[in-house]
Each structure stands twice: as structure tokens, then as C-alpha cells.
Structure 1
Amino acid sequence: MHLAPLLAAGVPLLGWTTHSTALARRLATARRDPLTGLLTRDGFTTRAERLIRRHPERTTVLLIDLDDFKAVNDTHGHAAGDAVLTATARRLATWCGTDGIAARLGGDEFAAVVLDAEHRVPDLNDQLHHPVPFGTELLSVSASVGTSHPATLLLTEALSAADGQMYAAKPGARTARRR
């Protein structure tokens, strides 16, 4: 048996396989926030739309924004802010469990799509108000949560509806929205 034909076919195949595996890993990494490990907006959108299509009557879309997050960074430094973000991400991911997906959309804004979650939202609210350990301190945190039920809405419309509810829930309920 001659090995030359096998090697001629096998070496390029091995190269393409290695290249594809590396590319797939890079794409997966790009869809994850490096600080929190949660999905980024792109990864979240794809998976959230799929979950909503499969279970439109059972899904709840949530938008979460940390209240006065800038004060944490200004008072305690960016390492403290990172601790708050990672604790929030961990709490949100744990709350979502296997019935949902969570994402960090950017800055101090998070989102989730979860099945059968309406009765559990108060528990998430409580968890997001627990202090975050940082060194020898406990950092006070709070978050505003907005929800939407996208049974007849697109994900973008559901996020917009949750955004309106979230801003209404903010301390002081500012009438002017940021953006």
C-alpha cells in the first residue's frame, strides 16, 4: 500500500479541520462577554429568538439595569465595578438556570429570556439587591428589572417593552429615558 495518496489527501484535510476548530472557538469566544462569561448581544439575540419561536406563550423577556452603577466605580474603583458586574451575571445566570439564557448587553445592562418565569421575577429582584462582597467591604447594589411577554412580539419589540417597564421601576422613576 502506498502512503503518498493518503498523505496527499490527509494533510490538507487535517489543516482544514484544525482551522475550522480554531475558527469555531474564536466565534464562540466572541459571543461571550470576557468579564462575566455571559452571552453578548449577538449570541443572545440568536438564541433568544429561537427560544421565543419555540415557546412563544411561555417566554418572559427581561431587561436589567444596575442602579447608580457609576457611583460604585467612582467611589470604589473599577475593580469593585467588575465585582458587581460579575456577581450580577452569576446571580442572573443561576436564576435563569436551564430554562433560559442570560446576556450582558453592555455596560451595566443585562437581558434574559426565560421560560415560565413570571412568578420567579420577585426572587430575581431580591437576589439583585443583595450586597456584593469586595475585599473587606460589602457593596450595596440594586437593579431595575423590566419584563415583557413576547407571545405576539419580535424580540426587539419585547426588549423595548421591557425597557420601558424597567425605567418606570427605577428609583425616582425618571420620566426622561437615557439613550
Structure 2
Amino acid sequence: MASTMRVQTRSGNRALIITTLAVPLTGWTMHAVSLHRKLAAARKDPLTGLLGRDGFTTRARQITDRYGDAALVGIVDLDHFKAINDGPGGHAAGDRVLAATAARLTAWAGSRSAVGRIGGDEFAVAVRIGPARRELRLAQLTQLLAQPVEAEDGVLVDVAASIGAASPDVLGTTDLSVLQRAADAAMYEGKHTGRAVLAGPQHVTVPSINGRRAGRPGTHTLGRAA
């Protein structure tokens, strides 16, 4: 008697019926289903729910191509994050800070943006913000990310973030890899200053890997270049 297997798709709206007598469920079929699930899962960071590097790259390129000079690409790096992980709250406190940062970035950027986690305590954002509003919006983001985060035991954890941003009208390109490289260099220039830095042409020349300054920890392990 023929037997069947029903494999639910991720959306749950459709099902693939495989009749074992007509289409044998070979090792390759099983591998293909498993691979599809892994690839789908890899598009989102499991801790924060943000896009992973490749997912962010795809979405961010759509934003920069569509909005041109009105697009803004930002790099966010949490300050003193190792001290949070090594503190009384341990990695649980660090996870709360990462999740809170992700939620704040998402709220600030809005639904038509791209927000991704591209490293341990590093985030990227691509959003539509016109030149006239950039300074104000970046100042708002700096203040938002500096709000304390409540740990599991109710203790408030002090946090701060360094922010660099880049825009096509200033740099003369919508190339995402160039924008990310410049934003990362600008972020590093403003490290621990409490202000966001908008990249200029001088930031484009900084050598980079995966859109980040060459030599930063993990630059060789974060997937393909943006």
C-alpha cells in the first residue's frame, strides 16, 4: 500500500505531498528539505530577530537603489559590551542589551527599512531619511540607544553606542559596500564621543572587509562582502 508524507512549508499555507511509490524520498530529497530550512532560518538572527548579513545586504541594496540621495546607511557598535558580558549579569544581561538595541533600532528605522545584526555587538541599518532631517534623526538615535536596559534581576544596565552613517548624496554613490565602509570608518572616528558621525569622502578610502574596517575582530568570518 502506498504511503505518503506531508511536509509543511514554513508559511503553513501549503503542503507538499510526496508519494513514496511514485517519487521515492531519497537522501537527496531529505537533504534539500533540510537545506531549505537552514537557509530560511539563517536569514534572521535567532537572538534579536533581525536580518542576518546576507538578508540585510539584499534589503539594504533595494533601499539605496530606490531612494538614492534620500537613503542613509548606518553602522552601530555597542560600547563596552564586553564589560556587560563580564559583569554581574553575565551573558544574560548581554543578551538583554542586544535584544533591546535591536528593538530600538527597529522602532527608530520604521517598517520600510532594513535592520540587521552583522556581528557580535554590531548592527547595520538602511533607511530613507532626507538630508534636511539626518542630523536630528541621528541625534534621536544616539539618545535612544543610550537609555539603560533592565536586566533579568531588575537592575538597570548602562549602555551606549557609537554610530556612523553614510549617504549617497555626500559620497556620490549608491554602492552599498562603499556606504557601509564609509559608515564604519565614521563610526570608529566618533567612538565613545556620544555623537553620530556622518561620513565624508575621506572615509571611503579606509581599507575594509565585509564593509568593515580591515583588522577588526571577526572581519574574515562574517560571510560575503556587502
| TM-score, scaled to structure 1 | 0.82
Distance 1:115 1:29 in 2: 27
**Aligned match for 1:127, one of 138, 141, 144:** 144
Partners of 2:192 and 2:39 in 1: how far apart? Answer: 38
Match of 1:92 among 102, 105, 114: 105
| 2:82 aligned with 1:83 | no
Q: What CA distance in whole angstroms lies between the structure 1 residues aligned with 2:62 and 2:168?
A: 12
* 1:168 is aligned to 2:189: yes
1:136 aligned onto 2:154: yes
| Structure 1: 4+ residue segments shifted above 3 A | 9-13, 19-26
What is the CA–CA distance in structure 1 between the aligned matches of 2:49 and 2:111, rounded to whole Å? 16
SS in 1 for 2:118: strand
The residue type paired with residue 142 of structure 1 is A
Q: Which runs of 5+ in 1 are unaligned?
A: 1-8
Residue of structure 2 equivalent to 1:31? 43
2:125 is the alignment partner of 1:107: no
Of 39, 49, 53, which residue of structure 2 is paired with 1:41? 53
Deviation of 1:34 (Å):
0.5
SS at match of 1:99: coil
In the alignment, what sits opposite 2:68?
56
Return the letter of the residue paired with 1:111. A
CA distance in 1, matches of 2:184, 2:92: 27
* Count of aligned positions: 167
> Residue 95 and residue 21 in structure 1: after superposition, are their counterparts in 2 closer, same or farther (change >3 A)?
farther
Instruction: Report how far residue 64 of structure 1 moved.
Output: 0.1
For residue 99 of structure 1, report the CA deviation from its aligned partner: 2.9
Once superposed, what is the RMSD of the aligned Cα atoms? 2.7
Provide, for residues 133-170 of structure 1, a one-character-per-residue CA deviation record: whole Å limited to 9, x for no partner: 01220000000000000351411110111111111111
CA distance in 1, matches of 2:61, 2:187: 21
SS state at 1:98 partner: coil
Which TM-score applies when normalising by structure 2?
Answer: 0.66
**Paired position in structure 2 for 1:3:** none
Confirm or deny: 8 A CA contact 2:64 2:174 kept in the other structure.
no
Structure 2 CA distance, aligned partners of 1:38 and 1:10? Answer: 34
CA–CA distance in 2 between the matches of 1:21 and 1:137?
44
* TM superposition shift of 1:51: 1.3
